[in-house]
Chains A and B, each alone.
Chain A
Amino acid sequence: MSAKRVERTALNGHQKMFKFHAVRKTVQNLKVIENRQLNDDHHLLQLEVPDPLETINPGQFANLLVDHSPGVFLRRPFSICSVDYSKNTISVLIKKIGEGTRALAQTPVNSYINGMFPLGNSFTIPSEPEKILLVGGGSGVASLMNLAQELGRNLNDVSILTGARSSADLVELEHFSQYGTVYTTTEDGTQGKKGYVTDHPILRDQLSQFKRIYSCGPEPMMRAVSAKAKSQSVFCEVSLENTMACGFGVCLCCVTETIEGHKCVCTDGPVFNINQLKWQI
């Protein structure tokens, strides 16, 4: 976090003392200034924020309201995949899964989406540059995008391994290549190594060279990555996904099992150290 941004946070903040994570949550109408379709399933929306942006940490998310879609009642959570402080915008990667995500993905440019953000905790950033591996699967790369940017800016030696079903499903590789070396796997072998990310040599054989691993993607993938990290005693954080009613820690619907009991993915997470989770790995 730059000194300039720390200062801005303090100036914009209300009477509270801010810690690194504790930026005030806001609800604002965000203007869609770009809606880029990446492939059949994914759209990248750049959203202009009316109020000056306070610091958004890698791993945090926004809970977006789905207007004009009568079958959708609750907000939908999305990782904030990039932040442009000069343009005062945030970006979200939307994968069309159901009615809500389809409606959001089709939001035209210049219209508005109501967003609640920044929500959740964030990835732990090393204080000194380190050798780091990011492992993303499918649309899980969204939460790693802002992280790669932050780590790259802090001169970490970053490698990014992303996997998907097919080459068309691999998104935002150019973004990641700005901040580190990109490795890919596809299940059908259309790009990179054929198979799952866990079949890639960098995870299979060369893991011990890394100080940290950060991962986000389908849970079976994160469990497999976590098992490898644990076997080599490498620091590992994962970003979990869950259905949420509120997104700010009041409904207690999005819990996950941890060594300290049920914890909310929305406020205690979405980022958890694998040692906190009760995964049998």
Chain B
Amino acid sequence: MRLHGRASIQHKSIKMADLSTTIHKLELKNPVLTASGTFGYGLEYDDFLDVSLLGGIVVKGTTIHPRQGNAYPRMAETASGMLNSVGLQNRGARYFATDIYPKLTKYNTNVLVNVSGSTIEEYIACAEIINELDHIGGIELNISCPNVKEGGMSFGTSCVSVENVVSAVRKVYHKTMIVKLTPNVTDIGELARAAEYSGANSLSLINTLLGMAINAQTRKPVLATITGGLSGPAIKPIALRMVWEVSKAVKVPLVGMGGIMNATDAIEFFLAGASAIQVGTANYIDPTITLKIIDGIDSYLNYHKFNKLSDIIGCLQL
């Protein structure tokens, strides 16, 4: 990997392909979003890149009440990936609305908030606050966090609880609602259908896979919480398979993610059926990777003589 300075998108002599894509009411100038929890509030990246060049950002998981998150150690590097057990550390939806949101209105791109909770009432209360923020075009409903004791992923693993939480938030949230699915289930297709049926405008997948790391020398788990969420290129084949399965199960547009490190990875998700993608863990290693991915998607479309991104979405050749 070779990178230098504050990045911008390369200007080419060839006309850029049409990279725009649509997620319900959200018009994205390009299909590259950032995954919640890996991009802070965008502000942390201002030194490295012009955030407005992205298709959008999904800011850190937000809950109605402030959360201290889990005990530490919270991170373990693994083969081609990492485990984390942050546990939705954040200062709460009201703090977000009053102290952080005003700083985000400078971005000329879609800003989405990842909304989480321990109870349905907490999801509702948080979504109601975010609903009032004009510049936030949508929410990503997080029913898939593996690192919280109550709520989080437990909402995302049965059809009944998916229907309960998604339909409850749907009643109070009137803009684009993306529901983020967990891969820690047997049949992701049926949960995707449950979310769609309950009012999701789009589905994003996958959240992290539940995993574990052990230190053989100390004979102890590496993470304070024993288990954590696995991300990085190690999970990409699973993510692709699940995007493919869900694309056959629902009609709403999909946002694919899981181990995307470069433009080729992103293209694979479009072929599997994603209308947009999110870049997560790769941002830690190269904070400008999202712009390189946008550039690479354009190069791919030009090379293969496609005029627009939509020409390849779901176009896996079987």
Contact = CB atoms under 8 A, between A and B. Distances in A.
B86 A251 contact: yes
B286 A27 contact: yes
Given A74-B284, A262-B68, A250 B82 contact: no
Interface string B1-19: 1111110000000000000
Contacts of B39: 250
**B-side binding surface: helix, strand, loop or mixed?**
loop
A252 B69 contact: yes
Given A73-B77, A252-B89, A245 B1 contact: no
Contacts of B286: 27
Q: Could you say which of B5, B77, B82, B84 has the most chain A C-beta atoms within 10 Å of its C-beta?
A: B77
A255 B69 CA distance: 10
B73 interface: yes
B75 A24 contact: no
Interface string B65-84: 00011001111111111101
Contact of B283 (A28, A71, A73, A246): A246
A205 to B, nearest CB: 36
Given A27-B288, A73-B77, A75-B285, A253 B1 contact: no
Contacts of A73: 77-82, 232, 285
Contact-size category for B = 35 or more
Contacts of B77: 72-74, 243
B44 interface: yes
Contacts of B79: 71, 73
Nearest to A74: B77
A72 B84 CA distance: 16
Q: Could you say which of B68, B72, B86, B283 has the most chain A C-beta atoms within 10 Å of its C-beta?
A: B72
A242 B75 CA distance: 10
Interface string B261-294: 0000000000000000000010111111000000
Contacts of A27: 3-5, 48, 286-288
B150 interface: no
B40 interface: yes
B37 interface: yes
Given A27-B5, A74-B284, A251-B86, A243 B75 contact: yes
A250 to B, nearest CB: 4
Contacts of B47: 24-26
B2 to A, nearest CB: 6
A114 B285 CA distance: 10
B40 A249 contact: yes
A250 B3 contact: no
19 contacts: A25-B48, A26-B5, A27-B4, A27-B48, A27-B287, A73-B79, A73-B80, A73-B285, A112-B2, A114-B3, A242-B72, A243-B77, A245-B84, A248-B287, A250-B44, A250-B283, A254-B74, A256-B72, A262-B89
Interface of A: 14, 24-29, 50-51, 65, 67, 71-75, 112, 114, 116, 242-256, 261-262
Which A-B residue pairs are the 6 nearest by beta carbons? A253-B75, A250-B40, A246-B284, A25-B47, A253-B74, A245-B284
